[in-house]
Structure 1
């Protein structure tokens, strides 16, 4: 098949010109009216820092925050997928009590502002769980060891491990509500005739879900699940409010110490865009290469 050639319409040029003009007005407004002195030359040093003593490059504030954001997004997505799948199955269960409990959880989380949910989960669940498991003492013990390269690769600074886990738990519990609805829709999209046929040959409910329903449902929900993962990456900025040191939190630190307000936040926006746009291209590639049947 021939690849379609994209031709620019006159309206595309108009929109591009408007965007450029808007950016130029903002730029001159900041430089002139606010008498703001741009310091873009300092930004690269806050991404990668050269250590003359060791003779090597180190990740500085912004790159540290970006790496932590990626860690939190990966771990939260796995936990949210597990919890969301359980919730989605519970939403389609035969037992009325299980269905109502799952629906209550989903409806409450989907209709409360994310900031409120983050604080509720952090103070009433995440902090209590970390204290009960004595994670802070365990993490400090790991941090005192000499060979902790593997631990730092997966979790970063082990002294901040409880904060990282708090963020992962809070974000996963919030996002699991949306994943649960996606899984529920996927399960209900499987034809009733297939489920009846499974029961007619003596399959139990567990076998029916395991061998018939879930394989088809999870394949069908891949596109919305991909979009939800990208939303999770963006939503991870919310947990900076509970002092989880991801990209947004590190940017606030950078602004507070350098007063480079616009440079820091524009760079952070670009980093989020690169990460999310790269993920969208990856998921689009996976969707097109996946078998249709």
Structure 2
């Protein structure tokens, strides 16, 4: 019976490999841009969160708490379906198929990732010895220069593992974008199920592919972390 199961998996993967490959490609594109934009925005929100200006600190805190306290599904639905109702339309770019859907998915996941990355970066910055800031200021550096040239480079080494885990998490959570019609891995897996009526084997293939993606990413992050650690010796 087990051999029949694996034989079906092999046949499905051979016959519908283009479906799965397209899904993997779109999943990685969404995850990459979500973490990229999430990191950029998260850095800004983290700085606001630690600002001495109370309104900025309150806004950043409220944003982080709200995003982390609401489901990603609702955030995605609000952006894709809710924004057009308010008159905000995502423009369609002809040479990029389904651009509004991709843009909505990446935007929603970036905003979601931003809240988590902001806390990662904030903890990384706070892990740097305060004496570093004081020493840089005593040398005539402005606060912004100190943050950019002294604190952040050291904080990155501390937060790299956590950022890697965030990328792994985004890869897994990106399956939710299939609900708005983005042809990610989960969407294409459902297509295969709809065509073949073979559910368990198709889902097993998707699970294995997700595992390969996340495991490979974890190993790459671990390798980069070891390189950075060796570079400090």
Equivalent residue for 2:154? Answer: 216
1: distance between equivalents of 2:28 and 2:86? 25
- Output the CA distance in 2 between the equivalents of 1:236 and 1:129: 26
Show the 5 A alignment for 1:31-180: 39-40=8-9, 41-47=11-17, 60-125=18-83, 131=89, 135-136=91-92, 139-140=93-94, 142=95, 158-180=96-118
In the TM superposition, what is the alpha-carbon distance from 1:106 to its structure 2 partner?
0.6
Match of 1:200 in 2: 138
- What number of residue pairs does the alignment pair up? 229
Query: Structure 1 residues 128 and 46, CA, compared in 2 at 3 Å: closer, same or farther?
Result: farther
| Shift, 1:165, TM fit | 1.7
- Cα separation, 2, equivalents of 1:127 and 1:173: 20
**Alpha-carbon deviation of 1:127?**
8.6
Over 3 Å counting, the alpha-carbon distance change for 1:260 and 1:227 in structure 2 is same
Q: 1:283 aligns with which of 204, 221, 225?
A: 221
Matching residue of 2:232: 292
Structure-2 separation of matches of 1:218 and 1:85:
11
Partners of 1:259 and 1:175 in 2: how far apart? 35
Aligned equivalents of 1:277, 1:130: Cα separation in 2:
38
Say yes or no: does 1:187 pair with 2:125: yes
Cα contact 2:83–2:89 (8 A) shared by 1: no
Distance across 2 between alignment mates of 1:163 and 1:130: 14
Deviations 1:214-246 (A, max 9, x none): 111122111111111111111111111222111
- Report the RMSD for the aligned CA atoms in angstroms: 2.3
2:195 paired residue number: 257
Tell me if structure 2 keeps the 8 A contact 1:91–1:102: yes
User: In structure 2, do the counterparts of structure 1 residues 96 and 292 end up closer, same or farther at CA, with 3 Å as the change threshold?
Assistant: same
| Structure 1 consecutive aligned stretches of length 4 or more whose deviation exceeds 4 Å | 125-130
How far apart, in 2, do the equivalents of 1:267 and 1:71 lie?
20
Q: Matched residues in 1 for 2:84 and 2:110: separation?
A: 11
Unaligned runs of 5+ in 2: none
Higher relative contact order (CA 8 A, sep 6+): 2
TM-score (normalizing by structure 2): 0.89
SS at match of 2:80: helix
**In structure 2, distance between residues paired with 1:42 and 1:169:** 33
Measured in 2, the distance between the counterparts of 1:273 and 1:239 equals 18
Q: Which has the higher helix share?
A: 2
Larger Rg: 1
Query: Could you state the TM-score of these two structures normalised by the residue count of structure 1?
Result: 0.72
Aligned to 1:231: 169
8 A Cα contact 1:73 1:232, kept in partner: yes
